Amino acid sequence: AQSVAQPEDQVNVAEGNPLTVKCTYSVSGNPYLFWYVQYPNRGLQFLLKYITGDNLVKGSYGFEAEFNKSQTSFHLKKPSALVSDSALYFCAVREALAGGYQKVTFGTGTKLQVIP
């Protein structure tokens, strides 16, 4: 069964510093990977996805993520954090299987706190 792990419940970073939110995955085949963000009292918003190709994926709001197959990781990064980036971040994985709909599995979420 596919799974995704977000090892940190909370990440604190000073405004202007680089940030990393970690995600590791487990699938038996090739993965499709996603990052979503949830601002307070809002639904989830899509940030970026990895399907195939370049291991560095660029997304919305200046975020990017690095796919590392050997380490089965898909860490979310941003070169310079903003206070407005403070939110709950979810990693998700969908396994690449033939035929039918494949379920997307979400991680437990990481709360990012950017300190002014």
Partner 1 sequence: DVKVTQSSRYLVKRTGEKVFLECVQDMDHENMFWYRQDPGLGLRLIYFSYDVKMKEKGDIPEGYSVSREKKERFSLILESASTNQTSMYLCASSFTSGTIHEQYFGPGTRLTVT
Chain residues in the site for partner 1 (CB under 8 A)? 9, 32, 34, 36, 41-46, 49, 51, 90, 94, 101, 103-104, 106-109
State in angstroms the smallest separation of the CB of 17 from partner 1. Answer: 26
CB neighbour list of residue 98: distance below 8 Å, 6 or more residues apart: none
CB 50 within 8 A of CB 38: no
State in angstroms the smallest separation of the CB of 76 from partner 1. Answer: 15
Q: State which residue, 49 or 77, has the beta carbon closest to partner 1.
A: 49
State in angstroms the smallest separation of the CB of 106 from partner 1. Answer: 4
Q: State which residue, 45 or 71, has the beta carbon closest to partner 1.
A: 45
CB 45 within 8 A of CB 107: no
Burial class (CB in 10 A: 0-12, 13-18, 19+), 41: exposed
